[in-house]
A and B are shown apart, each in its own frame.
Chain A
Amino acid sequence: MTQPETARSEAVGPGTLLVNLTQPSPIPLAAEFRCGPGELLALVGPSGSGKTTLLRSIAGLYRPSGGSIRCGDELWYEAGGQCWSPQRRRVGMVFQDYALFPHLDARANIATALGHLPRDQRHQRAMSWLEMVHLEDFAHRYPHQLSGGQRQRVALARALAREPRVLLLDEPFSAVDQVTRRRLQRELALLRERLNIPIVMVTHDLNEASALADRICVLHGGRSLQQGAPSEIFRRPVSAEVARLIDRPNVFTATLVHGADGPRLAWGDWQLEVTEGLEGYAEGSRLAWYVPESDIILQRADRSSQHQDENQHEDENQHQDENRVRARIEQLVVLGGVSTITLALDHEHQTMRFDMATHTVRRSQLLRGQVVEVSLLATGIHIMGEASQDAIPPEEI
């Protein structure tokens, strides 16, 4: 990357894409996001969340009823005002099915997007784009003679050949097999270093989004719910809804109490210490909170029988901020090298879930039904605000 990490995440310099779209129907939209030059923004959400509609709006292929789209100092779209054509916006778009022209070979497909060059230079430039995506030997193959991965690379080369102001990727890796996907993702990561334009990628694959994107925008029902660096979103989802959308379990509710040591979360028999986020809430507030899997630490199971009361500090090696809670292993699912453990708590209808290395599970001789103790790191506990009754039920997702 040419720019430092911090500069990219908040860039509002020239060439920044600013999107703010609203529409009540037929596809409800209420999304706002920005993407700076050189930045890759992933629009993430379940199917039907309006991701592709937003991407098509940026490309000029769909016109929502309200809002605006701005790229640098150009106003591409304004509700009731101007709406630039896709040709004029100069975006590079990789369609989900690649949309290669079936009657043109790979080189001619790319040359189609080189209309801004003099005619005699187009074929040569198309060849250099083919070299860029390592397909120089496939210049005269037609799309149906190319593999899925090769087609995707031709589509990417065609999108970039236009020297676009914005690159749009609509589920670019969904139509290829796992091995090809990993290779193409690596290639995109490498290619990005040379591109100094905003890149907006639509995906429903969270791993893909967190691996490739600088920032993620979580969408649901056309609304943008949260934006931020992947680590930020995964550690600090703003709401229970976002946590569910990004497949993060471990969202609970607890009551705020003021003890001798300051505010605590009263959760069943325990009073949990939280490093930050409890300020400003009144005693007795019902708060929604979340703890990332990485901040749940399984204590040795054989100690659980000695457990007496809330917040034990019996082990000298443990830090002060540990919040030990007792739970029963409800489910233990081994998926290769990683095992998923689901814990049931007596006072809570929600279960707690986290992954562990399978060899650790074996070594600790964990079994279903066993009672264990886990520590919830006080620094990891994230307060998401007052618990609302209208939070979407998990079945909906």
Chain B
Amino acid sequence: MDGAALFVSLKLALLTSAMLLPLGIVLGRSLAQARARWKVLPEAMVALPLVMPPTVLGFYLMQAFSQDAPLGAFWQWLFGGSLNFSFSGILLASLVVNLPFAVQPVQRAFEAVPAHLREAAWCSGLSAWQTLWRIELPLVLPGIISSLALTFAHTLGEFGVILMVGGSIDGETRTLAISIYDRMQAFDESGAGIMSAMLLLVSFLTIGVVYGLAARQRWKRHV
């Protein structure tokens, strides 16, 4: 059992989920309310990480993170460290990879809220913020929880991109998924087995939470 890898994985998954939450809400809501002709490109951009091979995505991220590229150079200037082979680097990569998981469930949930409800809230005297807070967010809560759970679980399991960008530095970039791979390379089947079982359990719990909440919320979703 690789305790350091478990810690890196959990830290990465929690930070990714937390940082993508506001972004997912803002992007999901804008895309849900945007006119069809304006949202084709942004929607495609958000969905791109879903269809791109992880190694390809990892390759481009590595290129962008390098100190010769504007992003990498900027990071270097800002924090004095490299993005490649660092925890910051895999966190940034993880944010990109998980964008569709964070945005899409929230977008679908916002799309399901009838426009009339917002108008009714305005006519009832609620400001735009009050409408978001008291009417829209409670109604899209199942979507937000789905997005959190999917992002969390997917980050725990992400392999290709993390390996490309972060390598396998103990306590810094070696996540549970990479550790399993390393153990298999070292013929340590029992170690890989324990960690695999753990990831399986986490995945199962995540899906349970998503479906459980969806079922619990469904009774409220009649409009």
Q: Assess the A91–B222 pair: CB atoms within 8 A.
A: no
Q: Which residues of B contact A (CB under 8 A)?
A: 114, 116-117, 119-127, 130, 134-135, 138-139, 219-223
Is A59 interfacial (CB-CB < 8 Å)? yes
Known: A112-B126, A115-B125. A102 touches B119 (CB 8 A): no
Q: Tally the A-B contacts, defined by beta carbons under 8 Å.
A: 70
Q: Assess the B127–A87 pair: CB atoms within 8 A.
A: yes
Q: Assess the A144–B222 pair: CB atoms within 8 A.
A: yes
Set A99, A143, A162: member contacting B119, Cβ < 8 A: A99
Q: Assess the A85–B116 pair: CB atoms within 8 A.
A: no
Known: A87-B127, A144-B219, A144-B222. A99 touches B116 (CB 8 A): yes
- Complex Cα gap A102–B138 (Å): 10
Q: Determine how close the nearest CB of chain B comes to the CB of A122; give it in whole angstroms.
A: 12
- Which of B114, B139, B223 neighbours the largest number of chain A CB atoms within 10 Å of its CB? B223
The residues of B that contact A87 with a CB separation of less than 8 Å are 122, 125-127
Number of A residues near B (Cβ < 8 Å) is 27
- Which of B119, B121, B125, B139 neighbours the largest number of chain A CB atoms within 10 Å of its CB? B125
Q: Assess the B220–A102 pair: CB atoms within 8 A.
A: yes
Q: Assess the B124–A162 pair: CB atoms within 8 A.
A: yes
- Complex Cα gap A59–B123 (Å): 7
The residues of A that contact B122 with a CB separation of less than 8 Å are 60-61, 85-87
Q: Determine how close the nearest CB of chain B comes to the CB of A109; give it in whole angstroms.
A: 9
Known: A61-B119, A95-B119. A103 touches B138 (CB 8 A): yes
Chain A, range 88-124, C-beta contacts under 8 Å to B: 90-93, 95, 97, 99-103, 112-113, 115-116
A-B contact pairs, 24 of them (CB 8 A): A86-B119, A86-B123, A87-B122, A87-B126, A93-B120, A97-B114, A97-B116, A97-B223, A99-B114, A99-B117, A99-B120, A100-B120, A102-B222, A102-B223, A103-B139, A112-B121, A112-B124, A112-B135, A115-B124, A115-B125, A115-B126, A142-B220, A144-B222, A158-B120
- Complex Cα gap A101–B130 (Å): 13
